[in-house]
């Protein structure tokens, strides 16, 4: 474990906490909101045992990273990702983004290209856009963002309990695909996050990543759960596949938003299959 400095706020440094495990081709895991890199626990052993070097880090404001009041826009978050790749001198890397992490991944490629990137994986993607529109009627608008932010301010802990219910489809999967202990650990990770960071990140839901994903010229895997209540498969997964028809696209039947936990075996199988045999070359 270590830290990477990405700036300062007033008298305090802004440091990103990271862990660097295993050897082999590098894989960088970009976690979702409002959790932290520990949410990748179901994937970490499988990747390391398969012979990959796995780098996880906590987004600013979350987990064990610094908690500044600013920098939660995707331009800054993708710059943080760039700092991680450059500080560790990672090349030929596979970037794996989940949910909000797919926004960081897309914006990073949009701004920095794929010089350091060999392939990418987008799980429950925000891209091409989560903004409500005629082509994405299930998306979010400014009123929806404001409603979430108000709920966070009013009672962040109660809001988090409800959120995890929809993240994991708990009425269906609790005690079957996810334990009470795992839900408790996820709740604690969300509760430990900076309230300012938790409140600020939803503004990015309305970003348009169309120009960013147009720069993706490396092998790509898109995974989406058919039962995602947060980012619908119709509005997000299938639209991203239409925008990236050359990508390998897989729908996980019954997968909720955090299917990396509830459907870890299925996700890991697809992830390792892609890493072991991605489509060759850049387009």
Token pair of 260 as six digits? 């990396």
Is 92 known to be catalytic? Answer: no
- CA 184, CA 205: separation in Å to the nearest integer? 26
Phi/psi at 220 (nearest 5 deg)?
-135, 140
Give the active site residue among 99, 119, 125, 129: 99
Token pair of 266 as six digits? 């299925």
Token pair of 282 as six digits? 């850049």
Beta bridge partners of 140: 131
Is 31 known to be catalytic? Answer: no
- CA 21, CA 3: separation in Å to the nearest integer? 14
CA distances from 154 to 136, 150, 157 (A): 29, 6, 9
Pick from 76, 19, 14, 40: nearest CA to 201: 76
Is 257 known to be catalytic? Answer: yes
Give the active site residue among 31, 241, 257, 263: 257
Residue positions counted in the chain = 283
Give the active site residue among 15, 36, 58, 228: 228
> Hey, which residues are catalytic here?
99, 228, 257
């Amino acid at each position: 474990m270590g830290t990477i400095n990405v700036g300062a706020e007033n008298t305090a440094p802004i440091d990103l906490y990271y862990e660097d495990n295993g050897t082999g081709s590098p894989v960088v895991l970009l976690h979702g909101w409002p959790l932290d890199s520990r949410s990748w626990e179901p994937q970490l052993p499988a990747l390391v045992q398969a012979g990959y070097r796995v780098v996880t880090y906590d987004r600013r404001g979350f987990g064990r990273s610094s908690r500044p009041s600013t920098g939660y826009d995707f331009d800054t978050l993708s710059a943080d990702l760039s700092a991680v790749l450059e500080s560790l001198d990672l090349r030929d890397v596979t970037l794996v983004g989940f949910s909000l992490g797919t926004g960081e991944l897309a914006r990073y490629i949009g701004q920095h290209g794929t010089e350091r990137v060999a392939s990418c994986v987008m799980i429950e993607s925000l891209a091409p856009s989560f903004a409500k529109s005629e082509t994405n009627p299930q998306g979010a608008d400014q009123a929806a963002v404001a409603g979430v932010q108000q709920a966070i301010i009013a009672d962040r802990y109660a809001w988090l309990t409800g959120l995890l219910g929809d993240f994991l489809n708990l009425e269906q999967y609790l005690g079957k695909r996810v334990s009470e202990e795992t839900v408790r650990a996820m709740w604690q990770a969300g509760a430990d996050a900076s309230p300012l960071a938790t409140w600020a990140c939803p503004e990015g839901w309305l970003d348009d990543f169309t120009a960013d994903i147009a720069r993706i010229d490396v092998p790509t895997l898109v995974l989406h759960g058919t039962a995602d209540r947060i980012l619908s498969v119709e509005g997000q997964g299938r639209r991203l596949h239409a925008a990236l028809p050359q990508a390998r696209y897989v729908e996980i039947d019954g997968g909720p938003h955090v299917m990396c936990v509830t459907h870890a075996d299925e996700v890991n199988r697809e992830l390792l299959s892609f890493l072991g045999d991605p489509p060759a070359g850049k387009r």
